[in-house]
Amino acid sequence: MAATTDTSVLTDEMLQRFHERAPGYDRDNKFFHEDFEELRDAGYLNITAPTEFGGMGLNLAQTMREQRKLAYHAPATAVAVNMHIYWTVLCADLYRIGDESMK
**CATH fold of 12-96:** Butyryl-Coa Dehydrogenase, subunit A; domain 1 (1.10.540)
Angle, vertex CA 70, rays to CA 64 and CA 73, nearest 5: 145
Residue 82, pLDDT score: 92
Residues 44, 10 contacting (CB under 8 angstroms): yes
pTM for this one? 0.83
Domain parsing of the chain, residue ranges? 12-96
Instruction: Please work out, in degrees rounded to the nearest 5, the angle formed at the alpha carbon of residue 46 by the alpha carbons of 9 and 30.
Output: 80
Exposed, middle or buried, 57 (CB in 10 Å: 0-12/13-18/19+)?
Answer: buried
Query: Hey, how many other C-beta atoms are within 10 angstroms of the C-beta on 102?
Result: 12
Asked if pLDDT for residue 1 goes beyond 50, the answer is no
Sequence letter at residue 78: A
Q: 31-90 pLDDT, tens per residue?
A: 999 999 999 999 999 999 999 999 999 988 999 999 999 999 999 999 999 988 988 888
Rounded CA separation 22/6 (Å): 26
